[in-house]
Amino acid sequence: MQSEAEKARHRDKMIKRKAVQDAEVASKTVTDRALLMVNTGPGKGKSTAAFGLALRALGQGWKIGVVQFIKARETGERRIFEGFGDRVVWRTMGEGFTWETQDRDRDVAAAQAAWAAAHEMMDDPDIRLLVLDELNVALRYDYLPVRQIVDELQARRPDLHVVITGRNAKPELIEAADLVTEMGAVKHHFAAGVKAQPGIEF
């Protein structure tokens, strides 16, 4: 149990903290700006975070789009998002990672087709959030021209939020983004010999 003096000190501390927080919030004047967001880094959770954001957007009544670069596998998230009907437009456009396809021309063609699908969604005025899953990987391997992609993302319509996932985000994309989150690799079960599992990895 806290003494009355300890309770009073805590209350005074929180009053001061609230004043600082309120002043910080009041200093922000932009109320409605579509963001370009990037989830990158060597740690697990980049796509997971993007799909959590997509669920939040759906909860606000938005229509969302998802284009998956590189990835080809059927996933749990795709199955559940398809349950939202026409409020979700989902395109899995990859053919697997480059060490699986072993065919650069095929990888480039798949990335170009995925970017074309992303463009269609960017032009759909009803879509409010677009997830470009593993686009960073396609850019890392130069399957798509990074400067062109960044320019087209920056020229998107002003009410479209975009979140991009994948390791090794290009510096040009990081510079253009409004929000960049780097997932750190502190510990991963794969290093201990645990294979990818349904419900956790896919």
pLDDT at 11: 87
CA atoms within 13 A on the CB side of 15: 6
Name the residue type at position 36: L
Q: How many separate helices (H) and strands (E) can be counted in the chain?
A: 8, 6
Residue 5, burial from CB neighbour count under 10 angstroms (0-12, 13-18, 19+): exposed
pLDDT for residue 99 = 61
* Residue whose C-alpha is closest to residue 143's, from 93, 105, 177: 105
Q: Which residues contact 128 (CB under 8 A, 6 or more apart)?
A: 57, 62, 63, 64, 159, 160, 161
Report how far residue 138's alpha carbon sits from residue 96's, in angstroms, rounded to the nearest whole number. Answer: 11
Q: How confident is the model at residue 202 (pLDDT cuts 50, 70, 90)?
A: confident
Residue of 87, 37, 38 lying closest to 58 (CA atoms):
87
Can you read off the two tokens belonging to residue 138?
A: 């396609």
Q: Please check the confidence at residue 158 and state whether its pLDDT lies above 70.
A: yes
Considering the entire predicted model, what is its pTM? 0.87
How far apart CA 202 and CA 193 sit, in angstroms, is 17
Determine the pLDDT at residue 93.
92
Q: What is the DSSP string of 124-165?
A: -TTEEEEEEETHHHHHHTTSS-HHHHHHHHHTS-TT-EEEEE
